[in-house]
Amino acid sequence: MGLAHKDLLSIRELTSDEIRLILDTAESMKEVARRDIKKVPALRGKTMINLFYESSTRTRTSFEIAGKWLSADVINVSASVSSVTKGESLKDTGLTLQAMHPDIVVIRHPAAGAAQFLAGRLTASVINAGDGAHEHPSQALLDLFTIREKAGRLEGLKAAIIGDIAHSRVARSNIHGMHRMGIEVRVAGPRTMLPRFIERLGVEVFTNLDRAIADVDIIMMLRLQTERQQAGLFPSLREYSRLFGLTAERLKAARPDVLIMHPGPMNRGVEIAPDVADGPYSLILNQVENGLAVRMALLYLFAGSGQTG
Amino acid sequence: MRILIRDGRVIDPARGVDDLLDLFIEDGKVIRIEKGARSTEPLEASKGKGTKAARHAESALAVDRVMDATGLVVCPGLIDMHAHLRQPGREDKETIASGTMAAARGGFTTICCMPNTDPVNDTRSVTEFILDTAKREGAVQVYPVGAITKGLKGEELAEIGELVEAGCVAISDDGRPVMNAELMRRAMEYVAMFDLPIIQHSEDLHLSGRGVVHEGLVSTELGLRGIPSASEAVMVARDLLLAELTGARLHIAHVSAAESVRMIRDAKARGVRASCEVTPHHLALTEDTVRGFNANAKMNPPLRSEADRQALLEGLRDGTIDVIATDHAPHTVQEKEREFDLAPNGVIGLETALAVTLTILVAPGVLSLPQAIAKLTSEPARILTLSKGRIAEGADADLTIFDPHRDWTVDPATFASKSRNTPFAGWRLTGATVATLVGGKVVWEA
Dump pLDDT digits (tens) for B59-88: 555 889 999 999 999 999 999 999 999 999
pLDDT at A33 exceeding the cut of 90 = no
pLDDT at B42 exceeding the cut of 50 = no
Cβ A112–B217 below 8 Å, yes or no?
no
| B307 part of contact set with chain A, CB < 8 Å | no
Quote ipTM for the complex: 0.93
**B41 pLDDT tier (thresholds 50, 70, 90):** very low
Average of pLDDT values for A226-247? 93
pLDDT tens profile A243-253: 999 999 999 99
Q: What is the mean pLDDT of chain A?
A: 93
**B343 pLDDT tier (thresholds 50, 70, 90):** very high
Average of pLDDT values for A185-189? 98
Distance from CA of A109 to the nearest CA of B (A): 10
Q: Report the pLDDT value the prediction gives residue B423, as an integer from 0 to 100.
A: 98
Q: Report the pLDDT value the prediction gives residue B40, as an integer from 0 to 100.
A: 46
Q: Report the pLDDT value the prediction gives residue B54, as an integer from 0 to 100.
A: 54
**Paired sense of beta strands B399-409 and B78-83, if any:** unpaired
| B226 part of contact set with chain A, CB < 8 Å | yes
pLDDT at A4 exceeding the cut of 90 = no
pLDDT tens profile B355-413: 999 999 999 999 999 999 999 999 999 999 999 999 999 999 999 999 999 999 999 99
Q: Report the pLDDT value the prediction gives residue B47, as an integer from 0 to 100.
A: 47
> Cα separation of B269 and B262, whole Å?
11
Q: What is the mean pLDDT of chain B?
A: 95
pLDDT at B110 exceeding the cut of 90 = yes
Q: Residue B420 corresponds to which amino acid? A: R
**B200 pLDDT tier (thresholds 50, 70, 90):** very high
Three-class DSSP category at B243: helix
**A227 pLDDT tier (thresholds 50, 70, 90):** confident
pTM over 0.90: yes
Cβ A112–B340 below 8 Å, yes or no?
yes
DSSP class per residue in A175-214? HHHHHHTT-EEEEE--GGGS-TTGGGGT-EEES-HHHHHT
**B38 pLDDT tier (thresholds 50, 70, 90):** low
Please name the member of B215, B223, B337 whose beta carbon is closest to the beta carbon of A196.
B215
Mutation to test the B interface, candidates A134, A203, A225, most B Cβ within 10 Å: A134
Average of pLDDT values for B19-25? 96
In contact, A105 and A126? CB cutoff 8 Å = yes
Q: Report the pLDDT value the prediction gives residue A78, as an integer from 0 to 100.
A: 82
Q: Report the pLDDT value the prediction gives residue A309, as an integer from 0 to 100.
A: 34
**A56 pLDDT tier (thresholds 50, 70, 90):** confident
Could you give phi then psi for residue B253, rounded to 5 degrees?
-75, 155
What residues are paired with A292 via a beta bridge?
Answer: none
Average of pLDDT values for A157-182? 98
Residues 6+ apart with CB under 8 A from B392: B12, B15, B30, B33
Mutation to test the A interface, candidates B218, B293, B305, B306, most A Cβ within 10 Å: B293
pLDDT at A218 exceeding the cut of 50 = yes
Helix B258-269 vs helix B306-317: crossing angle, to nearest 10? 30
pLDDT tens profile A73-119: 999 998 765 556 667 889 999 999 999 999 999 999 999 999 999 99
- How far separated are the first and last CA of chain B, in Å rounded? 20
Mutation to test the A interface, candidates B215, B218, B219, B220, most A Cβ within 10 Å: B220
Helix B96-106 vs helix B124-137: crossing angle, to nearest 10? 60
pLDDT tens profile B161-184: 999 999 999 999 999 999 999 999
Q: Report the pLDDT value the prediction gives residue A1, as an integer from 0 to 100.
A: 57
Distances (CA, A) of A96 to A64, A281, B45, B63, B89: 21, 46, 76, 62, 31
**Which residues of B are marked as active site?**
327
> Cα separation of B371 and B377, whole Å?
10
Cβ A112–B292 below 8 Å, yes or no?
no
DSSP class per residue in chain A? ---S-S-B--GGG--HHHHHHHHHHHHHHHHHHTSSS----TTTT-EEEEEESS--SHHHHHHHHHHHHTT-EEEEEETTTSGGGGT--HHHHHHHHHTT--SEEEEEESSTTHHHHHHTT-SSEEEEEEETTTB-HHHHHHHHHHHHHHHS--TT-EEEEES--TT-HHHHHHHHHHHHTT-EEEEE--GGGS-TTGGGGT-EEES-HHHHHTT-SEEEEPPP-GGGGTTTS-S-HHHHHHHH-B-TTGGGGS-TT-EEE--S---BTTTB-HHHHTSTTB-HHHHHHHHHHHHHHHHHHHHTTSTT-
Distance from CA of B97 to the nearest CA of A (A): 30
Q: Report the pLDDT value the prediction gives residue B57, as an integer from 0 to 100.
A: 57
Name the more confident of B421 and B37: B421
Search chain B and give the residue with CA nearest A196: B216
Cβ B217–A109 below 8 Å, yes or no?
no
